[in-house]
Amino acid sequence: MESVVRIAPYRKLVQWLSTLLLLLVPFLQVGGESLLRLDAASRTLHVFGAALRIEEFYLFLLVTLLLVFLFLFVTMMFGRVWCGWLCPQTTLSDLAEFLTRQSGRLLPGTLLPRLTCQLLFLILAFLVGANLVWYFIPPAEFLERLLSGRLGMVAGISLAGTMLLVYLDLALVRRTFCTTVCPYGRIQVMAMDRNTLTLEMNPARKAECIRCGACVRACPTGIDIRDGLQIECINCGRCRDACQAVMEKRGTTSLIHYTFGTMAQGGGRPLNLRSLVLGGLVLALCAALAAGVLTRREATLKVRRNDTVQAQRMPDGRLLNFVTVFIENRSRHAAVYDLSAALPEGAVDLLGPSNVRLAANDNRRVDLILRVDGALPQGSTVRLLLQRQGTTVAVATLTILEP
């Protein structure tokens, strides 16, 4: 008899590795900053060592497009593999069922197992809630603020709300969410086609089924795989393993298997025009995002006219323009920047702070006066240069105004 590998060990390994990754990411750092964290106060996304401010909207747009097309690509290729193998809801439901079974073995027939189980649900709900907040507040700072009662209203409401939802999910909802509420499964059905990976009973071997019901009992969503493809199926493979355990005793293999497309339709081809186009779009967006992050300027310089003070002509003939500049250090290191001005039509001086020191990911507003010697042609433009160690890192322009 041909040996068939069980799916369960691999599925559990993927589940717990992905769960461990979610828990550890807030603790990992690159260049002294979180690997992935959204700092709401400064409206900055820290990701893999780069600090992306909300002004860099085009990068957020690329990330959004990448997630959308990646979702479509994975769903079209592998169906509901996310639901059965990676989704935190599935992992939490599996863990809740495991805790319920184990607690039931402690003093059966008493109230203690139920109380123990509910306490474990509360602890798990707190861990999930805290893990969510860690993506906004570093774990060490979160713990210090929590113990000192300075967590803050938004973070506190987020923690308490998530804890409540997760506890109710563990105690009451579990798989019901997947079969009735979750919109992801319904969206997936629209993205799937005849080439998508599915889980089905081999139609050529249906006569071998002994109607033992092992596949139905093993299914976490309670469907009967023998009835064909159903929206509630999460492609977890539990029915396949259950059937294999029964059929091995009869000297054969499982009647249920993974297949690209259904055998009734002649199967499918995972590598087709649609998958290649979507895969190409995903790769192109990954390349564009990587290029956008790697080619970001280390600093930015923005200039605008001071609205409170008008341009002035001094008695000696020199012209004064009052401006405000905004300097941002986007790098991961502190830096000292020099400000200078250049005007092709005449001499220009910069009055005010021309040497600015900024910490990593810091920004500053600087008020300056542009002093120009002599008369200028209408619409003359001055160039403001931001330099570090003699290298120009940013340039801004401003039209000189007469009083």
pLDDT, tens digit, 9 for 90 and up, residues 276-331 = 999 999 999 999 988 887 787 888 899 998 878 888 888 888 889 999 999 988 87
pLDDT for position 262: 67
pLDDT, tens digit, 9 for 90 and up, residues 340-359 = 988 876 788 888 888 899 98
Structure tokens that stand for 205 in this block: 């071997």
- Nearest 10 degrees: Cα torsion 371, 374, 379, 385: -40
Tell me the CA end-to-end span of the chain in Å, nearest whole number.
95
Instruction: Kindly give, in sequence order, each residue whose CB lies less than 8 Å from that of residue 243, ignoring residues fewer than 6 positions away.
Output: 214, 215, 254, 255, 256
Q: What is the CATH number of the domain that holds 334?
A: 2.60.40.10
How far is the C-alpha of 391 from the C-alpha of 71, rounded, in Å?
Answer: 42
Q: Which helix (H) or strand (E) holds 20?
A: helix 8-24
pLDDT for position 39: 84
Is position 358 within any domain?
yes
Lowest-pLDDT range of 11-15, 268-272, 335-339: 268-272
pLDDT for position 1: 44
Q: What is the percent of the chain where pLDDT is above 90? A: 44
The residue segments making up the domain with residue 328 are: 299-399
**Averaged pLDDT of the chain:** 87
Evaluate if residue 161 carries a pLDDT over 90.
yes
Instruction: Kindly give, in sequence order, each residue whose CB lies less than 8 Å from that of residue 355, ignoring residues fewer than 6 positions away.
Output: 336, 337, 338, 339
Domain count, the chain: 1
How far is the C-alpha of 372 from the C-alpha of 365, rounded, in Å?
Answer: 22
Is position 376 within any domain?
yes
Closest CA to 33 of 331, 315, 238, 325: 331
DSSP letter at 231? T
How far is the C-alpha of 182 from the C-alpha of 369, rounded, in Å?
Answer: 59
Q: Which helix (H) or strand (E) holds 199?
A: strand 197-201
Is position 63 within any domain?
no
Q: Which helix (H) or strand (E) holds 126?
A: helix 112-134
pLDDT, tens digit, 9 for 90 and up, residues 169-181 = 999 999 999 888 8
Q: Highest-confidence range of 26-30, 115-119, 164-168, by mean pLDDT?
A: 164-168
The answer to whether the pTM exceeds 0.95 is no
Is position 359 within any domain?
yes
How far is the C-alpha of 343 from the C-alpha of 171, rounded, in Å?
Answer: 71
Is position 266 within any domain?
no
How many beta carbons lie within 10 A of that of residue 252, not counting itself? 15
Closest CA to 300 of 350, 353, 369, 364: 364
Closest CA to 201 of 256, 243, 254: 256
Closest CA to 91 of 11, 194, 193: 11
Q: How far is CA 69 from CA 80, 81, 191, 235, in A?
A: 16, 16, 11, 21
pLDDT, tens digit, 9 for 90 and up, residues 227-281 = 887 888 888 999 999 999 999 998 899 999 998 876 666 566 788 888 899 999 9
